[in-house]
Each structure stands twice: as structure tokens, then as C-alpha cells.
Chains A and B, each alone.
Chain A
């Protein structure tokens, strides 16, 4: 699934400058626990999280994750957005809950990072 398709499917708002519309995303990782992201994620995955903090961006960057989705319309603070811009990470906000966002992407064929 491309980043553009994720944006469309999740009715998401893009809040960072960097927009790699055509980039392929192979896997999804959905959690609020950063060590879980670091343990289970693969590169070229999307992180879906309710943790709208700088920690989520730092973690994504370390794990080579380029797209982060914040659920339930939760907006991060400015330093978090600035950090994402600096790291060229695309930050999206979806109005959907974590459960629904995952359900939508699963239905469209995206799967959990394999263990």
C-alpha cells in the first residue's frame, strides 16, 4: 500500500512537509509502547499510535519508519511536528480510533510486521 493510499483510506490529514505519496509501505505496527515498535517493526512499515509525543518520532526514526499515524484526531505539539519535519518523517492524523484505523488498513490488505 502506498503512503497516498494510507492517507486516503484513513481520511488522514498530513501535518508535515515531507510527502512521499508513491512510497510503498509493506507492514503496519500499531501500539503505544515504543519498545514494542523497536522489537517487532520492520523498516518500510507504518506506525499507528496514540502516543502523540516526540518519543514516537524518535522511535520511528531509529527504527527506519518513515510514516507515523496518530489516531482519534489527536494533535501533537509543535516540537513533535518540527522533529518529524527535521527527520523527514510523514506525520498523519486520522479521525479514526486505533481499532478502526487498523481494521480499515487490514481490510485493504496491509498486515502486521512479521515476527
Chain B
């Protein structure tokens, strides 16, 4: 796993911050490290607690799916004064029926994954729930790409659910 541009951080947040993490499929020993590191980057930028929590949860679920289902993947982030954008892209089996995969409770996780506490079919729905924008794209036999945007400005109308 490679750390991103998180080394030199500046609380004023005038610039954009970008970075990426390489995720190795099947490697449960390091599962969650990338998301944990992104979380501390977001915290060190002084981003509001609830926004950090939502972004971290969505990223963690995306990271776990790469670890569980794919051979390898990359987790990219772009932080601007307006939003946090997370792109999780993997080389893996892909998803045949995205609509089905998005349903709460749908899971193809094998037994060993369930023993590790995963595989309740809540990951993708939760990524969507915590994002203001959510896009998923998948090609069977090639891989899956998830892109999520969490806006840093909280509007009184609340989050949009129209994606």
C-alpha cells in the first residue's frame, strides 16, 4: 500500500489534495489500512466530523469489496474545498447484475469472508447512502469502478437521493 499526498497538509485547504492507495485482493491482514489513513488525512484538514465519518465509511466498504472480490485495485481520492471524491477501481470478476448487487442483503461472499465479519450485502447500499453522488460501473471478467462524491457543504435540504 502506498500513501498519497497526505504528508504535507495545510489546514487552510486552499489547494486540492490527491493521492492513491494500492489494494491487494485477499489480503485481510491490512484490510482497512487505506481507509484509516484517508480518514486521518481528512481529519488533519479540519474537515467536519460527520463528513469525515461518511467519507471514511464509504471508502472502507469500497476497500473491503476490492479485498474480498478482486485481484487488485486502486483507491484514489481528490479533496477540494467543495467535495471529497473517492474512486475505487479494481481488476476482478466484475458484477453481472448491478441492480441486484445494490440490493440490501444481496451477497455472494463465501463462508470464510462471513467468518471475518463481512458479507451481509450492506456494503454497496451503504456507500450509496453515505455519498451525495454515487456511480458504479462494471465489466464481467475485467473489473469494477465505483466513484463517490461527498460534498463538504451541508445544505439544509439534506443529501440528495436521486442517483
A binding-site residues for B, Cβ under 8 Å: 32-36, 38-39, 43, 49, 51, 53-56, 58-59, 61-64
Contact = CB atoms under 8 A, between A and B. Distances in A.
Contacts, number: 66
A35 B125 CA distance: 10
Given A59-B60, A62-B60, A38 B126 contact: yes
Interface string B39-62: 100000000010001001100110
Given A33-B117, A55-B117, A58-B31, A64 B49 contact: yes
Chain B interface SS verdict (over half): helix
Interface of B: 28-29, 31-32, 35-36, 39, 49, 53, 56-57, 60-61, 64, 116-123, 125-126, 129
A71 to B, nearest CB: 14
Contacts of B29: 54
A38 B123 CA distance: 8
A36 B53 contact: no
A62 B57 contact: yes
B36 A51 contact: no
B36 A39 contact: no
Contacts of A39: 122, 125-126, 129
Contacts of A63: 53, 57
B134 to A, nearest CB: 15
Contact of A51 (B35, B117, B119): B117
Nearest to B52: A64
